[in-house]
Structure 1
Amino acid sequence: MITINNLSFAYKKQKPLFNELSLNERTGQIIGLLGKNGAGKTTLLQLISGLLTPKSGQIDINGLNPINHAPVLLEQIYFVPEEFIMPSVKMHSYVNGYASFYPRFDKALFNELIKQFELDENKNLSKMSHGQKKKFRIAFALASKCQLIVLDEPTNGLDIPSKAIFRQMVAGALEDDQTVIISTHQVKDVETLIDKILLIDNGQIIFDESIINLSERYNFKIVSHLPEHTLYSELNPMGYKVLTPSDGETSEVDIELLFNAINDGVKFNNEKPNHE
């Protein structure tokens, strides 16, 4: 689905943001792209979507280079940026004008999604609040049924009920041949959705692991006293949030704790533990 080989990129008069970055992702996943501010998450999403041109290296989406803007590839990608401007048209007019660019667009699904988001299709898009515009773009993206949907900080601007609806929508609206990349700082908003975590730092992918593997290899829990083999811990009103090697039971992954542990220098073993 997504293949990146030796990607290098730099903005003018700035040091390289990426230097020979490589990545290979199969289809049918919800990928969480994490990193500190300035790590290049949005830039990487724009490169994958064909909005920026790499200095060197190759990006392939289903075997095609996104920078060539081939219609057969453009109809497979939908990118929702963190900030955007909507035209001064009613929602239904926008959908009637743009849905035809996406051959798999599901109008019935779109109508169901805007109903869940409590959006009025007769309202002018430019007069909506930022949160309403974001909900519309998310609904359109999911209804497009594109094979690659890219969401940059999708929950920014959404209220608490809308964040819950967003999670339900993404979990229920995807087909097996679709891949979603979500870049976010609000990891609690998407924690239950993500199948895989990518962490970017200093121009490289420094962590690449599935949630299933993490849940089998490590425990994420709250305890009153630090266990002997604690890999990382944080003070918590109830005691300590800790990351420890697995004791044989699967654990729900705390992505925020994991992120902080990686940034603190904790090294993770890629081999599954043997509990025999």
Structure 2
Amino acid sequence: MLQVENISFSYRRGKKEVLSDFSLSLEKGRVYGLLGKNGAGKSTLLYLMSGLLTPKHGKVMYHDTDVRRRLPITLQDMFLVPEEFELPPISLVSYIELNGNFYPRFSKEDMVKYLHFFEMDLDTDLGALSMGQKKKVFMSFALATNTSLLLMDEPTNGLDIPGKSQFRKFIASGMSDDKTIVISTHQVRDIDKVLDHVLIMDNSHVLLDQSITSICDKLLFVESDDRELAKTALYTLPSVQGNLLLLPNTENEESEINLELLFGATLAMPDKIVEMFHAKMNEQ
């Protein structure tokens, strides 16, 4: 549905490029987790995908249309939730009346449903809300637009613990086969249960682009104090009960993905991780 084709971008002429000859492809019906170190260009990539930034070289194609043209056909079918934003000091009902018409598939009924996940309702004054509450309202509006592409930058920042739990249910409730959601975050523990695909980027390269199923078929995530087992691990992180271990899944065992462990391993040994998945593809 979306192709990022060899884009390069820098915020100032002569400055180091944030992204250089970067390419990526998104498919419909998936929830992507976009992970990377600070400064890797995740937020910049989301703005380029939405057409709010223009690449120096390359292009972003959305359903075969260049997003930099900012045509209604693309603008009405994608929505970006930035990490920081402002909402006008008006009622939520007025906000919906002013903005909902820009999105042909916007549903007020869906908006009410999503607000209820956050224990909120339409009878709300936006000017009286905390930052966390504003984020809940704005994300509810974003999902209620029913655009084919929803981009979210650090959506759980500013949410309290109950809010983060509500967020996971909220995303799951709004997903469908014709919708694609991209979540860029450092808070990996907030999203690991809602993703079905992982993208890890660094130095203008996609180091990992795999489904959760594929990752768990190839890798085993365990927590153990077994020192002998730790010696066989591809990557380890200390934990309360010993170590978090990333192991080759040689026996087709089941385990739940640990994004923090996977992210650390991919940055520490990118060639090894890539080789494992390429080997699997070659076998097929």
**TM-score, reference length from structure 2:** 0.93
Q: Which residue of the partner structure matches residue 219 of structure 1?
A: 220
Indicate conservation of the 8 Å contact 1:85/1:126, yes or no. Answer: no
Q: Contact 1:213–1:272 (CA<8 Å) still a contact in 2? A: no
With over 3 angstroms needed to count, the CA separation of the structure-2 counterparts of 1:106 and 1:120, relative to structure 1, is: closer
Write the distance in 2 (CA, Å) between the matches of 1:68 and 1:107.
29
Aligned equivalents of 2:116 and 2:94: distance in 1?
17
The answer to whether the 8 A contact 1:86-1:125 is kept is: yes
What's 2:198 paired with? 197
SS class of match (1:89): coil
Superposed, which structure 2 residues align to 1:119-268 within 5 Å? Answer: 119-226=120-227, 227=229, 228-246=231-249, 247-265=251-269, 267-268=272-273
One-letter amino acid of the structure 2 residue matched with residue 171 of structure 1 = A
Say if 2:11 is the partner of 1:11: yes
Contact 2:233 2:245 in 1 (8 A): yes
1:17-166 matched pairs, under 5 angstroms? 17-166=18-167
User: Number of residues paired by the alignment?
Assistant: 273
Structure 1 gap ranges (5+): none
| Alignment gaps of 5+ in structure 2 | none
- Quote the Cα distance in structure 2 between the aligned partners of 1:259 and 1:67: 31
Name the stretch that deviates more: 228-237 or 249-258: 228-237
> Any idea what the Cα deviations from partners look like across 1:75-117, whole Å, max 9, x if unmatched?
1001000000111111111011111111111211111221231
Q: Which whole-Å CA distance do the structure 1 matches of 2:269 and 2:253 have between them?
A: 25
Which whole-Å deviations, capped at 9, do the CAs of 1:15-39 have from their partners, x for residues lacking one?
1111111112211110010001111
Alignment identity in percent?
40
Letter aligned with residue 41 of structure 1:
K
How far apart are the structure 2 equivalents of 1:242 and 1:116?
Answer: 35
Normalising to structure 1: TM-score of the pair?
0.95
Asked if the contact 2:79/2:151 (under 8 Å) is kept, the reply is yes
Contact preservation (8 Å) 1:9, 1:18 = yes
Preserved CA contact (<8 Å) 1:78 1:148? yes
Three-state SS of the structure 2 residue aligned to 1:4 is: strand
Q: How far apart in 2 are the matches of 1:112 and 1:68?
A: 34
Structure 1, residues 169-194: CA drift from partner, whole Å, max 9, x if none?
A: 11121221100000000000000111
| Whole-Å separation in 2 of the counterparts to 1:203 and 1:232 | 23
Runs of 4+ that moved beyond 2 A: 118-124
* Equivalent position SS for 2:89: coil
